[in-house]
Amino acid sequence: MLAKLTAKNQLTLPKSITNEIAPTEYFDIKVENGQIILTPVKIHPTDAVRTKLAALDLSEQDILDAVTWARSPQDLVL
């Protein structure tokens, strides 16, 4: 089965192919021996949180400081 790569590097997967896999929005992509391999990936909300935390480059001490701050009595301004 053929699929055309557009000028914007977009590829439309044929419906007959996507019907054979579970509904998915994301794919892991890799190249092996000159072939492009797409593997359906289910993104969980926890994965997004882990990715965001990794991007922030927080240390364990940063987390402990934040928890301590959140648990301390705060002066409320109304």
State the pLDDT confidence band at 53, using cuts at 50, 70 and 90.
confident
pLDDT at 78: 57
* CA-atom Rg of the chain in angstroms: 22
pLDDT tens digits, one per residue of 2-41: 899 999 999 999 999 999 998 888 999 999 999 999 999 8
Number of domains the chain is built from: 1
pLDDT at 9: 94
Cβ–Cβ < 8 Å for 18, 40: no
Q: Is residue 30 part of a domain?
A: no
Q: Is residue 18 part of a domain?
A: no
Q: Is residue 5 part of a domain?
A: no
Two tokens at 37?
Answer: 């391999």
> Is residue 62 scored above 80 in pLDDT?
yes
Report d(CA 64, CA 51) in Å as an integer: 19
Q: Is residue 76 part of a domain?
A: no
Q: Is residue 28 part of a domain?
A: no
Q: Is residue 55 part of a domain?
A: yes
For residue 33, give Cα distances in angstroms to 5, 17, 28, 37, 60. 19, 22, 16, 10, 41
Question: CA torsion sign, 37 to 39 to 45 to 46?
Answer: negative
